[in-house]
């Protein structure tokens, strides 16, 4: 009988990195004058406030945030993302997060990032973290360009659980012995179904919930 390799699941933004890559990508686009700065920043800030409050309309947000991707060629987007990684993401790197990932690798756990941010933004970040398995919001493509629409179920709130369950059906793994690390109250549905929920530098609402339920709370900030 093959040994069980428990799933070690991680949210990305404000968990494994010290910031929100999705929000920061929007900010980055305003500095590059790719979007109308005043309008985009105002809407981006409001959506982020809604997200932090656990009240985000994910479909409205995705329609807004993905629109700029549809106006640029993949070569332009890839060049922008390389600059984004260097200038914005690298300063968010957390040594304690890397140490946590190493601990799980040493135990031969199966590592996966489960994030509501879209795959275009997060795939290079996960590659840099050395995490092969990724569930993210998928983007529709046509003629090697993003259409501005999503493909399938957004991996947000209960959508994370649905997407993970769909993935589990294609693997020989289960949630037995699993852990999930997150900072956000939006991840409560997934935290509730794993064996070992862990609040990481949690937002006030998740901190309160973790305390009430007796969940482990840690910090990965230096």
Tell me the CB-side half-sphere exposure of residue 1, using CA atoms within 13 A.
Answer: 3
**pLDDT at residue 1, rounded to an integer:** 38
Q: What is the DSSP letter of 139?
A: E
Q: How many domains does the chain fold into? A: 1
**Could you tell me if residue 28 is inside a domain?**
yes
**139-170 pLDDT tens trace:** 999 998 999 999 999 999 999 999 999 999 99
Domain span at residue 125? Answer: 7-218
**35-59 pLDDT tens trace:** 988 999 999 999 999 999 999 999 9
**Could you tell me if residue 214 is inside a domain?**
yes
From the list 2, 13, 22, 45, the catalytic residue is 13
Burial of 145 (0-12, 13-18, 19+ CB in 10 A): middle
From the list 2, 11, 20, 78, the catalytic residue is 11
**Could you tell me if residue 99 is inside a domain?**
yes
**Could you tell me if residue 136 is inside a domain?**
yes
pTM here is 0.95
Distance of CA 179 to the CA centre of its chain: 16
Backbone angles phi, psi at 212, to 5 degrees: -65, -35
**Could you tell me if residue 67 is inside a domain?**
yes
**Could you tell me if residue 2 is inside a domain?**
no
**pLDDT at residue 5, rounded to an integer:** 84
Regions in the chain scoring below 70 on pLDDT = 1-4, 222
**Could you tell me if residue 181 is inside a domain?**
yes
The CATH number for 167's domain is 3.40.50.1000
Is 13 labeled as catalytic in the residue annotation? Answer: yes
Is 22 labeled as catalytic in the residue annotation? Answer: no
Q: Radius of gyration over alpha carbons of the chain, in Å? A: 17
Helical residues (DSSP H) of 107-183, grouped into ranges: 119-129, 158-168
**Could you tell me if residue 44 is inside a domain?**
yes
């Amino acid at each position: 009988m093959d040994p069980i390799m428990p799933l070690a699941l991680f949210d990305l933004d404000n968990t494994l990195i010290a910031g929100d890559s999705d929000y920061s990508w929007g900010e980055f686009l305003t500095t590059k004058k790719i979007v109308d700065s005043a309008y985009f920043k105002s809407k981006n800030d409001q959506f982020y406030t809604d997200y932090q409050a656990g009240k985000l309309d994910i479909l409205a947000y995705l329609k807004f945030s993905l629109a700029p991707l549809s106006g640029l060629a993949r070569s332009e987007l890839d060049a922008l993302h390389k600059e984004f990684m260097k200038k914005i993401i690298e300063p968010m790197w957390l040594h304690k997060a890397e140490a946590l990932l190493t601990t799980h690798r040493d135990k031969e756990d199966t590592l996966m990032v489960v994030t509501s941010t879209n795959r275009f933004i997060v795939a290079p970040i996960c590659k840099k973290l050395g995490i092969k398995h990724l569930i993210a919001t998928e983007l529709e493509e046509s003629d090697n360009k993003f259409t501005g629409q999503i493909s399938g179920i957004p991996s947000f709130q209960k959508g994370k659980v649905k997407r993970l369950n769909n993935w589990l059906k294609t693997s020989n793994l289960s949630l037995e012995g699993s852990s999930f690390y997150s900072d956000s109250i939006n991840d409560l549905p997934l935290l509730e179904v794993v064996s070992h929920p862990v609040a990481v530098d949690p937002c006030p609402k998740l901190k309160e919930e973790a305390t009430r339920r007796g969940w482990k709370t840690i910090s990965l900030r230096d």
